[in-house]
Structure 1
Amino acid sequence: MSFQVQVSHGSDRHAVEVQSADSVVADLKTTLLTLTQIPIDSQKLIFKGKTLQDDYKTVSELGIKQGSRLMVLGRKSAVADDPSSKEVEKFSCAVDGIARKMEGIREEVTGIEKGFLQTELIADACRGLHKRCLACGELLMQNLEKLDSMIIPPTETLIRGRKKSTVVRIQSLLTRNDDLIKRIDAI
């Protein structure tokens, strides 16, 4: 005999029909997939304060009956699969590449400052390093502008946090880039 349970997900409430007392938790999760769009492997069901970990226990074994209240936790899609997450990751990788270029420039500047380059070659080397710094700065600004134009829903706090940390990293690299330009100009 079928019965209904109440399942909450965030502020949403769902009346879920359970086919019988012999239905297993996995059946309930399948029903919840269609209602909440949360992938089954991302669902965490809670009943009476305990997480339902065994998907093959029957609802009667767990004490779930007509009118029982359950809570489902989980994201509608895995964060790694989210297009916004992939986009932020792409920017983060691009920033990593720019940071490596800047580290190479920093090492060359340090070498020049320590006198490892012949005097007659310093002016040309500094011009080239200056151009490379400007290019890195331009790339950082482009990435910052693109990140700034991304619209990420307020509910995606993890992705928003990754975006913010990437923005902070770009700002830090821009400051380091300015310092490198000053060091080059001082040579």
Structure 2
Amino acid sequence: MSALEACRYVPSQITEGSEKHKLQVVAEEQHNDPTLQDVALSVEKITGVPLASQKLIYKGKSLKQMEQTLTKLGIKNGCKIMLIGKKGFLSKSLQMEALGKLDKRIKITVEHFMKVLEQIDSMALPENFIDCRMKRKGLVKKVQGLLARCDTVEGNISQEMDKLQCKNLALSN
């Protein structure tokens, strides 16, 4: 067996939920045994699950020591490794669309809050209903606070959309 063949492992599959992926792992340095880090990087390329969000399991044990070689971990050609992980991110092509949808939902929420404020304002209470007037005032302040939070979220969404547009422009040049 050549040095290159010795550093190549082919677990028969990585299982991610109901999905199964064939995986070939090659050590980053040609003459070294592949490490768990090499496996995790290959898994990231195949599944799209970022390294930080991966939990790899072999024979019921969670694999955590990224610098360990596959030989030391007992992982051999043809083995099965289970992946538990979440993608937790959107592809770049979908981020702008998702931010646009979020922005629209925030704007709709702001409209609903404004209608609530109008309804509260239209309530006529006699002067002697002091407790009710105080509760109404407190409710108005809560709704105004929620509106301020919506404004903050809208601003954050706008900033993220601007960043994405700048990145997209930079990539297209």
CA shift, 1:27, in A, is 0.9
Query: How many pairs are equivalent?
Result: 114
Higher helix share: 1
Segments ≥4 residues shifted beyond 4 Å: 79-82
Query: Among 90, 103, 121, which residue is 1:90 paired with?
Result: 103
Match of 1:14 in 2: 21
Residue identity in the other structure for 1:102: K
Structure 2 distance, partners of 1:44, 1:88, is 31
- TM-score normalised over the length of structure 2: 0.53
CA shift, 1:24, in A, is 1.7
CA shift, 1:36, in A, is 1.8
1:24-55 deviation per Cα after TM superposition (whole angstroms, max 9, x unaligned): 21111111222222222232212122332332
Residues 7, 15 of structure 1: 8 Å contact kept: yes
Identity of aligned residues (%): 24
Residue identity in the other structure for 2:9: F
1:98-142 deviation per Cα after TM superposition (whole angstroms, max 9, x unaligned): 2321232122112xx2157xxxxxxxxxxxxxxxxxxxxxxxxxx
- TM-score normalised over the length of structure 1: 0.49
Q: Flag the 1:88–1:61 CA change in 2: closer, same or farther, 3 A.
A: farther
Structure 1 distance, partners of 2:59, 2:103, is 42
Q: Helix, strand or coil: the match of 2:24?
A: strand
CA shift, 1:87, in A, is 4.1
Match of 1:172 in 2: none
Q: Flag the 1:73–1:66 CA change in 2: closer, same or farther, 3 A.
A: same
Q: Give 1:165-180 correspondences, 5 Å limit.
A: none
CA shift, 1:68, in A, is 1.4
Q: Helix, strand or coil: the match of 1:44?
A: strand
